Structure formats: C-alpha cells, structure tokens
Amino acid sequence: MFGDYSIGDLGSIFVMQGFAGLILFSVYVLMALGLAIIFGQMGVINMAHGEFMILGAYVTWMTSNLFQAYMPSLFGGYFFLAMILAFIASGALGMLVEWVLIRHLYKRPLDTLLATWGLSLMLQQAYRSVFGAREVGVELPQWMLGSLHVTDSIEVPINGVFVMGLTVLITVSVAYVLYLSRWGRQVRAVVQNRIMAGAVGINTEKVDRYTFGLGCGIAGVAGSAFTMIGSTGPTSGQLYIVDTFLVVVFGGAASLLGTIASAFSISQTQSTLEFFMSGSMAKVLTLLAVVGILMLRPQGLFALKVRK
C-alpha cells in the first residue's frame, strides 16, 4: 500500500494525516479524561458520558448563536465563554445525576452501566425535544479558519492547533488538581480506601459528587471542541462512547498518562490508515488492534501496580 508513494510524499502524508488526527486526538483525550476520572477513579461505567459531551456541544452552539445575534463584534472570542459555560452546564448536570442516581449504585458497578444507559436514552430524547432532531453546526470565528503553510505539501489547520493547545492546558490542570491539590489527594484517598478515608475525616460523599461533576464537566469541554470537527445531533455522543471506553481501558484505567498515550496512538493510527483505505476499514483495523493488544495485555498500557 505504500509502494505508490515516494519517501517525501509519504512523509508529507504522515504529517498531514497526523495533524488531521490532532483534533480527533483532542476530543478523545478530553472525553477520555472525564471518563478516566469517573471509571478509573470511581469504578462507575458512565454510558451517558457521550450525552454530557453533547450537552457541552449544544451549549457552545447556543453561545455562538447568542454572540452572533447580540454581540457580533465579540464573535471572535465566543469560544472561550462557551467552553466555560459548557463546563458549568455539564458539570452541574453531572452532580445532579450523581446525587439522584449514581450514589445508590456504588456497590454494583455493572448496574451503573444499565442505569446510565437509561439516562442516556432520556437525555437523547430531551435534546431531540428541545433542539430538534436535525444536526446543528457551529460557525467558526474568522481567525480559526484557514491553515498555516509549513511547506509546499504540508498545511496545518489553525483550529486543530488551537484545540490541541486547549487540550494540553486542560490535561495539565486536571493532572495538577488530581495529583497536587488538597482536593485531589482526598479523591485518591477515597478511591484507595473509602472506609479509611471516611475515618480520617474526608467527606467521601462530597468528594464523589465533585469528582463525578468534574468528569462530566470535562466531557462538556470536549463537546465544545467537538463542534469544530462535526455537527451536533441528539445521538452524536453515542458514536464516541465505545471509542472512549476503549481509550480508557487501553491506557490502563486510573492512569492519566496512559489515557493520553492511548488516545494519541488510537487517533493517529486511525487517521493515518484513513488515508490508505476507506474510513470504515481504518476504524475496524484500529479497533481490532486495540482489542488484540488488550487480550494480550488486559491491564492496559500503563497499569498501576496496586495490592488487592
């Protein structure tokens, strides 16, 4: 399959497809970060994670419409406000869901899967009733359109670079919060030993609620980034949920570094293969490789060594 291209062409193809994969990588990382916190840290399988992402995408869409209608002069900066709003909306919904639903199910992790699946059906229908079944697209501000010309054959899309930078920023802040802040220490303490954490005075219920909220909020930000690569519909989130779970499992649940590495390898493999074959076969091959590796190494790429 490589035979028809010269070395130089191949280099350009890999670089171009690599950058094309960057946005996919960013959405994967942001989705998977939220999921890794919820699944890796709390053991909850959140099948409604895609719907939290789509909520963020809808919030972004509404914000952009609002800016277009009332503040066209500030349209260039709408994305920053939209991201914050998306985080707040998804995070708030996540905390509500934790309070109503998830906290009753911590002892039955497989059942969270069924309950959150029910939740995702209800959210999808809610989006359909509120926003309509038709997919909506967001208009990008002028400065994000176009691309940077690196060489004659390599072009880098600006919005890709922007989303990429955003992802790095969010990942670094999540890592900071989880590993260096006082609250992050509490989260990890609750994960490692809930009873002892409670005994030393950590409010475990509160920690759970905020952790779930944080995971969902990050999904909302992922939704904001998602508006740049696809149009938003009530069921768009469902398409990403399995990929995201694979990213988390492949990386080794509970390992942030593993999540990033696996998101990167999966999105880049898929994006590069897409150039050489049809999109569906690229996806099949990527998923097959991931499942195959997981069968050989069930603990994922970066497994934490824990005593049980």
Q: Which residues bind another protein (CB under 8 A)?
A: 39, 43, 45, 47, 101, 104-105, 108-111, 113-115, 117-122, 124-126, 128-129, 238, 242, 245-246, 249, 278, 280-281, 283-284, 287-288, 290-291, 294-295, 298
Rounded to a whole number of angstroms, the minimum distance from the CB of residue 307 to another protein is 15
Closest to another protein by CB, 13 vs 287, is: 287
Q: Least Å distance between CB 303 and another protein?
A: 12
By beta-carbon proximity to another protein, the closer residue of 133 and 169 is 133
Cα–Cα dist 219/186, whole Å: 22
Question: Whose Cβ is closer to another protein: residue 160's or residue 233's?
Answer: 233
Type of residue numbered 222: A
As measured in angstroms, the least distance from the Cβ of 251 to another protein is 12
Q: Which is nearer to another protein, 85 or 290 (CB)?
A: 290
CB count within 10 Å of CB 94 equals: 30
Closest separation in Å from C-beta 273 to another protein: 13
Minimum Å gap between C-beta 95 and another protein is 17
- Min dist CB 66 to another protein, Å, is 27
Would you say 94 and 52 are in contact if contact means Cβ atoms under 8 Å apart? Answer: yes
3-state secondary structure of 140: coil
Nearest to 167 by CA among 218, 117, 106: 218
Q: Which is nearer to another protein, 150 or 284 (CB)?
A: 284
The span from the CA of 281 to the CA of 9, in Å, is 22
- Closest distance between another protein and the C-beta of residue 250, in Å? 10
The distance of closest approach from Cβ of residue 118 to another protein in the complex, given in angstroms and rounded to an integer, is 3
Q: What ranges in the chain are assigned the alpha helix state H?
A: 7-35, 42, 49-70, 78-100, 109-131, 158-179, 182-192, 194-199, 204-226, 238-251, 256-276, 279-296
| Complex with another protein: residue 24 or 47, whichever CB lies closer | 47
Say if residue 230 is exposed, middle or buried (CB neighbours under 10 Å; 0-12, 13-18, 19+): middle
Q: What are phi and psi of 157, to 5 degrees?
A: -70, 135
DSSP state of 48: T
Nearest CA among 156, 198, 134 for reference residue 21: 156
Give the separation between CA 228 and CA 129, rounded to whole angstroms: 24
Residue 228 or 241: the one with the smaller Cβ distance to another protein is: 241
Choice between 133 and 257, CB closer to another protein: 133
Is there a contact between 23 and 228 (Cβ–Cβ < 8 Å)?
yes
